Amino acid sequence: MPYLFTSESVSEGHPDKVADQISDALIDNFLAFDPASKVACETLVTTGQVVLAGEIKTDTYLDVQKITRDVIRKIGYTKSEYMFEANSCGIFSALHDQSADINQGVDRKVENADFETLANAQGAGDQGMMFGYATNETDNYMPLPLDLAHAILREMSNIRNNELELMPYLRPDAKSQVTIEYSDDDQPIRIDTIVVSTQHDDFADDATMLAKIKDDIINIVIPRVKAAQKAELHGLFTDNITYYINPTGKFVIGGPHGDTGLTGRKIIVDTYGGKGAHGGGAFSGKDPSKVDRSAAYATRHIAKNLVAAGLCDQVLVQVSYAIGVAKPCGLYVNTYGTAKVDMHDGAIAEKVGQLFDMRPYAIEQRLKLRNPIYSETAAYGHMGRKNEIVKKTFGSNGQTIELEVELFTWEKLDFVDQVKAAFGL
């Protein structure tokens, strides 16, 4: 029987995402000047106020206030009427040294050691389980409802930042949601419902405002999102989609003034929109020694390469750790009955464990995670993004450096040939 599945996304101006972006900007700056930095940084944002808290072990000094204001300014909170504004908001920092009890199991000193010694010396930064997922229903191997929800808000952000004359009332805070009907064999049939709530400037008349925003979303934003999809998905965009645009009505008060934001509260938006599974640990604000982040990226890397190699149509990969221990406690694979090889999922998992070294140090090295690559992950999802090399500039304590870094390394299809060879595909 056909079924409906829904995923949501939030914009870079959503208060929780403002917090994520500040935390990850701090991570990037610490790593830029000291790649060995250990950082766990939480951010709270509310009316006119930012609070930074967390544990840091680093050899560098940062102007955390300047970094925070730069992030807020880039997002678009630059007007006093927002009640949260880059130049005037208060910033309180409660960052302090990392616990030596935690650090001793994660950062064991080994002089002039080879890869194996280093990989066995660096234990996981915490216990827990992490999941990666991939499906062949989109070109980027992401679930379609989430991919479309992200796409709607990215297009609105593009308009707000580059073509504001099209929708001149847009403010930074927004949410989207997409419901898709699937067939019995898990194929998307049609888009059932699209929900968009966007913060906006004040209008003289509420009815005029609602009509204008709904018309612009349906006739400007959605056609652009449709055009960006592969041709076989265009048929999902029918005239029978149910739209809920700003369904509560007026949405002038938004951002951190409308709702307090915290780092790590949008973990489903950050991953797979509710498809697959989630271990519960947030990503933003954590350096890669925290396996909540690095192992989630590594399992996505595995899942994407398995599906891209043709091993299965969709797959969930789980890994688990004990704090301070390098070797994973377990590796689990679920192909949902879509495997193209005559093997049980347990046997597939065993072979996958031989292909991918899941010790934390090995993950950091394979995916180049000790680089300042995290600001780009903090809005519109950590998965399904474009792998590319960019130049980034950082300034601290009178020093400026420019670094060339590779973004979203976990999205690379660099293990496809090895997967095919291992499974005889």
206 is in an annotated binding site: no
Domain interval for residue 111:
15-116
404 is in an annotated binding site: no
16 is in an annotated binding site: yes
164 and 225 share one domain? yes
174 is in an annotated binding site: yes
Give residue for tokens 């652009």. 224
Residue 109: its pLDDT value, please? 61
272 and 183 share one domain? no
73 is in an annotated binding site: no
Note if the pTM is more than 0.75: yes
**pLDDT level of residue 354 (50, 70, 90 thresholds):** very high
User: Residue 28 pLDDT more than 90?
Assistant: yes
Q: How many domains does the chain have?
A: 3
Query: pLDDT tens across 246-290, in order?
Result: 999 899 999 999 999 999 999 999 999 999 999 999 999 999 999
86 is in an annotated binding site: no
Query: pLDDT tens across 197-243, in order?
Result: 999 999 989 899 999 999 999 999 999 999 999 999 999 999 999 99
Residue 359 lies in a domain: yes
197 and 243 share one domain? yes
187 and 322 share one domain? no
212 and 318 share one domain? no
42 is in an annotated binding site: yes
User: Residue 117 pLDDT more than 90?
Assistant: no
Instruction: Determine the average pLDDT of the residues in 185-205.
Output: 95
CA distance 34 to 291: 19
User: Residue 102 pLDDT more than 80?
Assistant: no
Residue 66 lies in a domain: yes
Instruction: Determine the average pLDDT of the residues in 143-160.
Output: 98
309 and 362 share one domain? yes
Residue 95: its pLDDT value, please? 92
Q: Are 306 and 419 in contact (CB under 8 A)?
A: yes
Give the mean pLDDT of the chain.
94
Residue of 153, 122, 148, 128 lying closest to 137 (CA atoms): 148
286 is in an annotated binding site: yes
CA distance 74 to 172: 10
242 and 312 share one domain? no
420 is in an annotated binding site: no
CATH of the domain at 173: 3.30.300.10
192 is in an annotated binding site: no
298 and 331 share one domain? yes
As separate numbers, helices (DSSP H) first and strands (DSSP E) second, the chain gives 13, 13
290 is in an annotated binding site: yes
Residue 258 lies in a domain: no
Bridge partners, residue 392, by sequence? 403
155 and 112 share one domain? no
Residue 228 lies in a domain: yes
265 is in an annotated binding site: yes
278 is in an annotated binding site: no
224-257: burial string, b at 16+ Cβ within 10 Å, e else: ebeeebeeebeebbeeebeeebbeeeebebbbbb
Bridge partners, residue 182, by sequence? 3, 188
175 is in an annotated binding site: yes
132 and 150 share one domain? no
98 is in an annotated binding site: yes
230 is in an annotated binding site: no
33 and 167 share one domain? no
247 and 269 share one domain? no
Instruction: Determine the average pLDDT of the residues in 316-324.
Output: 96
- Strands 170-182 and 188-200, by their bridges, are antiparallel
Residue 183: its pLDDT value, please? 95
